[in-house]
Amino acid sequence: MSFFRTYKKSELKSVHGAEPGEQRWPFVQVGLPTPIYLMQLERAVEEDATIDYEILTADLAELVNFSEGRYPPLRLVSVDLLISIPPVSRRTFHALREVWVPPQGGAYRFIVDDQVTLDFNPLQNRFDPDALQCIFRAPAA
C-alpha cells in the first residue's frame, strides 16, 4: 500500500462519492515542469520487520532532509523522478541514481536509471557544473 502526503493548501476537496469508512486521497494539481519526487522510505518496527512508505513531494529540501536522515526512524531507500522536459510535453518517470545541486541552489542535475543526465534549471541562470554537489546517491543494488 502506498501513502502519498499532500499539503493542505494544494488539496482539492471532494467528498462526493465516498463510501462510509472509505478514505479518498486528495488530488493535487502541480504546475509543469516542476519535478516531482517519489521517495521510498522504510521504518523498522521489529527486529526483522519494516514498514515501507512512499511520499510524493515537489520540495527538493524535503528530499535533502530525508537523504541526510533528519527524520528518524524513517530511512530513505530510493527516489524516483516524475518530470516533463521540453520538447516532451508528457511527464516521464525515472528511477534516480543520483541528484546533484549547486551550493547556492538554482539548478539540479539528475542521473537516472539509464545513465542519462537531466539538468533542470528553473531560474534559467548560469551555473558551473564543477560546483555541483551530490545530495542524494541511490544505494548500490
Same domain flag for 126 and 83: no
Give the residue, 120 or 23, on which the prediction is more confident: 120
The answer to whether residue 105 is domain-embedded is: yes
The answer to whether residue 2 is domain-embedded is: no
Pick from 124, 129, 131, 138: nearest CA to 33:
124
Burial of 63 (0-12, 13-18, 19+ CB in 10 A): buried
The answer to whether residue 5 is domain-embedded is: no
The answer to whether residue 63 is domain-embedded is: yes
How does residue 135 score in pLDDT terms, banded at 50, 70 and 90?
confident
- Is the model's pLDDT at 7 over the cut of 60? no
- Tell me the C-alpha distance between 81 and 94, whole Å: 5
- Tell me the C-alpha distance between 94 and 116, whole Å: 10
Same domain flag for 75 and 111: no
The answer to whether residue 19 is domain-embedded is: no
pLDDT attached to residue 139: 74
Same domain flag for 80 and 41: yes
The answer to whether residue 82 is domain-embedded is: yes
Same domain flag for 48 and 84: yes
CA separation (Å) from 51 to 40, 65, 113, 119, 122? 11, 19, 25, 33, 35
Same domain flag for 50 and 65: yes
> Residue 89 belongs to what domain range?
31-94
Q: How many domains does the chain have?
A: 2
79-115 pLDDT, tens per residue? 998 887 666 667 788 888 998 888 777 788 888 887 7
- Tell me the C-alpha distance between 92 and 83, whole Å: 6
11-65 pLDDT, tens per residue? 445 555 555 555 555 555 555 467 888 999 998 888 888 888 888 888 888 888 8
The answer to whether residue 117 is domain-embedded is: yes
Name which of 47-51, 71-75, 87-91, 116-120 the model is least confident about. 87-91
Task: Indicate the SS3 state at residue 11.
Answer: strand
Same domain flag for 39 and 57: yes
The DSSP secondary-structure symbol of 65 reads H
